[in-house]
A and B are shown apart, each in its own frame.
Chain A
Amino acid sequence: MRSYSRRNVLAFGAIAGTAWLGSTPARADNSVAIGFAGPMTGPVAAFGNEIKRGIDLAIDAVNAKGGVRGKKLVVVVRDDEFDPVKTVGAYRDLIERQNVVALVGTANSAAMLAVTPLLNDQYKIPAICVHTDATAIIHNQAEKEGRDNYLFRLGMFGSGQADFLVDSIVKKFGLAKVGLLTWTAGYGQIGRKELTRRLSELGMKPVADETFETGDTDMTAQLLKLKDAGADVIMHYGTIKEAVSIFQTRKKLGDPMIPFVSSWGIAVPALWKAAGDLAEGTIDSNVVTVDGPQSPERQAVIDAYHKAYNRQFDDPASFFDAYDAVMLFALAMDKSGFEPSAIRTALENIPSYHGAGLSVDHPVFTKENHEGYRLADMMLGRWTSGKFLRIGYDEKGPFVTPAEGQKRYIDPKTFALQ
């Protein structure tokens, strides 16, 4: 009896002590926890699970080298079912009960926008967003007011992606007559607005501005109008399903086919699964690809992925951004300890980073810039026989490298391989 009550007292003391420590996060097993809430079940579970795989493999890599300051890293995962209301609940749980000191962002821009004020104003816990590209997540109220901004991002962001797409196509490919073909839902209309803005900044305007609805199965009218307007290139913002309809209709209308450029929204292996050969020659923006020759760092992680999961990637960008996010957190903790506000400050002061996804000689984040990917770090890829190959440029023009030492030039007018 005595020992029993003694244990009770001790347990109570431990709980009370933890509560009293308050802002100093402590976990019973002397580990440090990174939190992640994302869609682990339901229709978009593929993205949540891909982000988690990135976190898991990065944590394995960190712990294999002894962890951070002698502590093991762990991840605590909550399923938010792609529902912003559940994301908010999950974040409260992760921060208040699970004592996470940093977070990897969820897969839903609306959910990320919902938790942004919580992180900045209430909890002051740093989060690195992956997959979500709404500009306002990073350019939030705290940033506007010059307060500490706890939100960072690795991945595409709305305005940057539009700048990159337009600049690449207009300046590097030399195409001047840009026709827009965008989805009428939110993502497509944000894209339409941003592309139009960038074109007008360059003193241009789209020669045609067509839209399509969710579930449209035939794009004949839109494509004929784009053709009649003399568009050299179609810039698209939308989802895979309607992109397939566009490809099918384009083939039906016959040669010459107008080249097709899109955002990272469709730059995932699922595009080729749905469209097959119809996607050949499509150019997408993205931040990474796993196809074609890779740097040794990235190839090692790709191999680790295949070994650990024995499957193909669902979304390489989500995976590598999550992987890099954990690595950057580990670097920041190594430098400044486990206090969330200190981690935040340390993230702004990492002088250079050569990771599996992002590789830069300048600081990833600074006090003024919380976007890890700058325009120069983004990439265009060309779908080539089922592979998403990074596009490079030399004096002879744009090219892809299907295998080491193999250079295939792209006709900038048709996107065909020469």
Chain B
Amino acid sequence: MFFFFQILLNGIATGAIYALIAVGYSVTFTTMRVLNFGLGMWVMLGGMLTYSLYVAWDLGIVVTALGVAALLGLLGVVAERFTVRPFVKAGSEAWVMATLAVGLLYVDIAELVWGRNSLAVPGFLGENVIRLGAVGVYPQQLLIVAATVAAFLGLDYFYYRTLWGSAFRAVAHNPEVARLMGINAGAIATASYALAGILAGFAGMLVVPITTADPQMGAVLGLKAFVVPIVAGLASPRGILFCGVAYGAIEGLISGYLFSGIRDILAFALMIVILYFRPEGLFGRPSFERA
């Protein structure tokens, strides 16, 4: 039983990170029908910045979080304005390449600024292992789960309890009608891109004490997190939280009870099977699609 719980607990912590990144895909998709394919690299940038702010300059966690949010948010605004909007406006699909190009640009810049070595970032709540019976867990892992749940609750509140959130949902539902209602759909698009950047930055900040920070860390994280909204349904934040955590747990259990080499094969095969039977995702509602 110890084996099972130890693996499950780690899987849940890993899955929470997938969920946090995954919701970034969802935010831009629902409002603009655009996916930021380079989102993993935004996660990386958040992680590298965390190293500079929290470790190199020793500014404390609050300043670090504000700094990461400010820079990633600003980059989101700029990236949407110059690499997404022109293509979307022109009815071109070239934004797919543009979002990837921005991601690759981040990798190259990060390698120039921080070098290629893995950089250590200490856990925000210390490095002492918490023991729950025989099972051990890092405080950072608990923090990741707590922060992810908090982020989702915050998003829920934002979407359903605030005016801006309603505007987001209106644009997601039908941008033309939203525009007629006086909503600035362009501003909403920019804001959603910035929000996705900020969430990715937070994911990077939370994950580097576990993974170390290096410029190549984004690709794998971004790809795995991409599975989650595809399986859950891109428009369903609660579904994404559930599926993210479940994906992490399943990954852990496969490595534990079978072997790690087969893990990604089974996990991705499972995704294909789910999509075959439910193309809109487990939690997706076909009615949400624009006609």
A contacts, CB < 8 Å to B: 42-44, 46, 184, 210-218, 220-222, 224-225, 228, 240-241, 244-245, 248-249, 251-254, 270, 273-276
Pairwise interchain contact B120-A46, C-beta atoms closer than 8 A:
no
Known A184-B261, A220-B10: A270·B118 in contact at CB below 8 Å: yes
Known A222-B260, A252-B137: A214·B118 in contact at CB below 8 Å: no
Partner of A276, one of B120, B136, B211, B220: B120
Pairwise interchain contact B220-A214, C-beta atoms closer than 8 A:
yes
A212 neighbours in B (Cβ, 8 Å): 260
Partner of A274, one of B119, B252, B261: B119
B212 neighbours in A (Cβ, 8 Å): 241, 244, 274
B117 at the interface (CB under 8 A from A): yes
B251 to chain A, nearest CB (A): 9
Grouping DSSP codes into helix (H, G, I), strand (E, B) and loop, the B interface class, with mixed when no group exceeds half, is helix
A sample of 26 cross-chain residue pairs with beta-carbon separation below 8 angstroms, ordered by A number, consists of A211-B259, A211-B261, A212-B260, A213-B260, A213-B263, A217-B207, A217-B211, A218-B10, A218-B11, A221-B252, A221-B255, A221-B256, A222-B255, A240-B117, A240-B118, A241-B211, A244-B118, A244-B120, A244-B212, A248-B138, A253-B6, A270-B118, A273-B117, A273-B120, A274-B117, A275-B120
A273 neighbours in B (Cβ, 8 Å): 117-120
CA distance A385 to B221 in the complex (A): 32
CA distance A184 to B13 in the complex (A): 23
B60 at the interface (CB under 8 A from A): no
B11 neighbours in A (Cβ, 8 Å): 218
A245 neighbours in B (Cβ, 8 Å): 210-211
The interface on chain B, measured as residues whose beta carbon lies within 8 A of the other chain's beta carbons, has a size of: 38
| Chain A residue with Cβ nearest B9 | A220
Q: How many A-B residue pairs have CB under 8 A?
A: 94
Q: A222-B260, A224-B256 are in contact. List 12 more A-B contacts (CB 8 A).
A: A43-B116, A43-B216, A46-B116, A46-B117, A214-B220, A216-B260, A220-B10, A222-B255, A224-B7, A241-B211, A241-B217, A270-B117
B264 neighbours in A (Cβ, 8 Å): 213
CA distance A352 to B279 in the complex (A): 71
A44 neighbours in B (Cβ, 8 Å): 116
CA distance A43 to B107 in the complex (A): 10
Pairwise interchain contact B6-A224, C-beta atoms closer than 8 A:
yes
B28 to chain A, nearest CB (A): 24
A222 neighbours in B (Cβ, 8 Å): 255, 260
CA distance A244 to B207 in the complex (A): 14
| Chain A residue with Cβ nearest B224 | A215
Pairwise interchain contact A274-B118, C-beta atoms closer than 8 A:
yes
